[in-house]
Amino acid sequence: MQINYTTKQPRFTALHIANCGELSIYKVTNRSDLNFIKELPQKIKMQELMPNLTKDEYSRWEEMLQYAVDNAHNSGNTTYIEAINNKPCGIITFFLDKTSELDCICTWPVEFGKKVKLAGKTLFYQLFKDFQEIKGKKIKLEAITNGPYNTVKKYETLGFKQTDTLPTKVKMESSAPKVKETMKELENIIEYQPITPEKVDLYKELNIR
């Protein structure tokens, strides 16, 4: 359902920083503006959007989204919301430093049974862009192995290599030279257009169904 904006609702003044074809990228800039993110797990009905997943796969996806929402509240994290046609379709949150760490990335469809094209790759491109701007050395992440998709293989296509295997996840990392190489590959398929950052109220700008 659509979130109806009222003057009593807290404003979510994220920065609209880039457009990538039909996709738009918004950066969270204030911890008090996380109210919009808190509502995502309750408003996104994955079982209605992707009806062919198993019960366990739905549960795992819901855990991933909740984990992303929770980690967006970490004071040291950088968080972005992604949208298509005024509907949220992804979130990424990460710790940015010389050794950066991806806490979580989660994307979802906005149309019945149809994934949003390049949603995940676009969010990774934003991570890589921020990483390069601070001249980072390494990016680490943990790929889950008990989810609905083969995340290890997906991250390997983005330049990450396995470093350790745990019961339900695989630790992976990518170096600065590899990130630079991967960004060049992504630039062939992603139309990333930075814009003059514009402060927007996502309660007015976006719909959640």
Q: Are 161 and 153 in contact (CB under 8 A)?
A: no
Least confident interval from 2-6, 30-34, 83-87, 172-176: 2-6
Helix and strand counts by DSSP (H, E) for the chain: 8, 9
Please report whether residue 8 resides in a domain.
no
Name the residue among 142, 127, 135 with its Cα closest to residue 183: 127
How far is the C-alpha of 79 from the C-alpha of 205, rounded, in Å?
18
State the pLDDT at residue 141: 98
- 3-state DSSP assignment of residue 66: helix
Please report whether residue 2 resides in a domain.
no
Please report whether residue 191 resides in a domain.
yes
Residue 153, domain CATH: 3.40.630.30
Please report whether residue 115 resides in a domain.
yes
Q: pTM for the complete prediction?
A: 0.91
Please report whether residue 131 resides in a domain.
yes
Please report whether residue 4 resides in a domain.
no
Please report whether residue 114 resides in a domain.
yes
- Count of domains in the chain? 1
**Domain range for residue 85?**
13-205
Please report whether residue 7 resides in a domain.
no
What digits encode the pLDDT tens for the residues 38-82?
A: 888 888 888 888 888 888 888 888 888 999 999 998 989 999 999
How far is the C-alpha of 187 from the C-alpha of 144, rounded, in Å?
27
What digits encode the pLDDT tens for the residues 86-135?
A: 999 999 999 999 999 999 999 999 988 788 999 999 999 999 999 999 99
